[in-house]
Amino acid sequence: MILVMNIDSTLEEINQVNERLETMGFRNQVIQGVKKIVIGAVGDPLTSNALKELTQMPGVEKIVPIMKPFKLVSREAQNEGSVIEVGGIKIGGQELAVIAGPCAVESREQMMESALAAKNAGACMIRGGAFKPRTSPYSFQGMEEEGLKLLREASEATGLPVVTEVIDEQTLQMALDYVDMLQIGARNMQNFRLLKAVGQIDRPVLLKRGMSATIEEWLMAAEYILSEGNQKVILCERGIRTFETYTRNTLDLCAVPVVKRLSHLPVIVDPSHGTGDRQLVEPMSLAAIAAGADGLILEMHPNPAKAVSDGAQSLTPQGLNDLMGQLQTLAPVMKRIIP
């Protein structure tokens, strides 16, 4: 349930309600919205006497039950959309966030060239994989901490924040010294220990949808993170596995408006993994923004033909420039801006 507090509620009143809920066996989280302060409380249903007691406490405006299994990520918990700040970049507001970079960090030269190309094209963040969970144990597994150092160097050279995937609690702790946003990949969307671990850290998290996950399962994964205290979660639609073979995955753009109706969390789209084909990245990027996405995460490589992974779906620097031009034309139509 959600306890809606008066906007002028004092810290003492909020603490008193929190303490009373805890004595009743609830797990609580204060959510500071633009227009409302609410307390999300997860636990067994209250008796009518307990409900009456809480509604009469100073500062409490009303109590709203939440019937959906995901509580803290729901629109009932927070009606206005969340805006998550990553290294000074806002994701979820009027601005559209474009994140670009290679699938994997391969070398200093490759990473610096990619970062400068992303910046020159107008992207606001850099992506790059230091840890690569691959289907085959013989495939390139990433440069690990050396890759993280190269990401940090690229960030400092361009002034752009960076995001990279963490695959377990050990890589999570290692990445904290280098990156601005942590990514939970599709294969780890239901790694609940990892979700709890990132939930206990004050760092933005990009949560990718699992390749066979329903929307509810995806939102429940986000709920794990928020329930541990970290409200800085951005959702990423990256395509789901279907019977179709002409594309790598099926990019589920229906999920964008559905999730934005159900949840206050920002939603971005990954058309690179969603299609597996660089020729499809531009049209699906435009379609994603038209569907209401708050941004894109794109794979771009200085020389895709020589990429150690995902070269077929990686844009060239010129391809990224061309796409950014198309986005600049579309953004005003959708009442959005590209910073």
Q: What's the pLDDT tens digit per position in 101-149?
A: 999 999 999 999 999 999 999 999 999 999 977 667 757 667 899 999 9
What is residue 321's predicted lDDT score, i.e. its pLDDT? 98
> What confidence score (pLDDT) does residue 165 get?
97
Pair type for strands 2-5 and 37-42:
antiparallel
State residue 239's pLDDT score: 98
Which CATH code of 1.10.1060.10, 3.30.70.380, 1.10.10.10, 3.30.70.1140 fits the domain covering 2-64?
3.30.70.1140
Backbone angles phi, psi at 305, to 5 degrees: -65, -25
What mean pLDDT, rounded, does the chain reach? 93
Q: How confident is the model at residue 34 (pLDDT cuts 50, 70, 90)?
A: low
CA atoms of 16 and 77, how far apart (whole Å): 20
Which segments of 272-311 are extended strands (E)?
A: 295-299
pLDDT-wise least confident of 19-28, 37-46, 172-181, 279-288? 37-46
pLDDT at position 81: 94
pLDDT digits (tens, 9 = 90+) for 280-331: 999 999 999 999 999 999 999 999 999 998 999 999 999 999 999 999 999 9
Q: Tell me the CATH architecture of domain 84-334.
A: Alpha-Beta Barrel (3.20)
> What is the arithmetic mean of pLDDT over 156-172?
97
Indicate if the pLDDT at residue 276 is higher than 80.
yes
Encoded amino acid at 116, one letter: L
pLDDT band at 180 (very low <50, low <70, confident <90, very high): very high
Q: Compute the average pLDDT of residues 250-278.
A: 97
Report d(CA 301, CA 153) in Å as an integer.
17
Residues ≥6 apart with Cβ < 8 Å to 221? 184, 189, 190, 195, 207, 210, 213
For the cut 90, the answer to whether the pLDDT of residue 175 exceeds it is yes
**Domains of the chain: which residue ranges?**
2-64, 84-334
DSSP 97-146: EEEEE-SB---HHHHHHHHHHHHHHT-SEEE-BSS---SSTTS----THH
The answer to which of 40-44, 101-105, 242-246, 264-268 has the lowest mean pLDDT is 40-44
- Number of C-beta neighbours around residue 254 at 10 A: 11
Decide whether 2-64 matches 84-334 in CATH topology: no
| pLDDT tens-digit readout, 36-67 | 788 888 777 777 778 888 888 999 988 888 87
Cβ contacts of 91 within 8 Å, gap of 6 or more: 83, 84, 85, 97, 234, 266, 268, 294, 295
* Pick from 47-51, 248-252, 266-270: least confident: 47-51
Complete DSSP assignment for 42-81:
ESSPPPHHHHHHHHTSTTEEEEE---SS--TTBTTT-SSP
Report, as an integer, the average pLDDT of 15-43.
Answer: 82
pLDDT at position 134 is 67
Residue 225 has a pLDDT of 97
Contact 295, 271 (CB under 8 A): no
H or E element in which residue 155 lies: helix 145-158
Q: At 77, is the pLDDT very low, low, confident or very high (cuts 50, 70, 90)?
A: confident
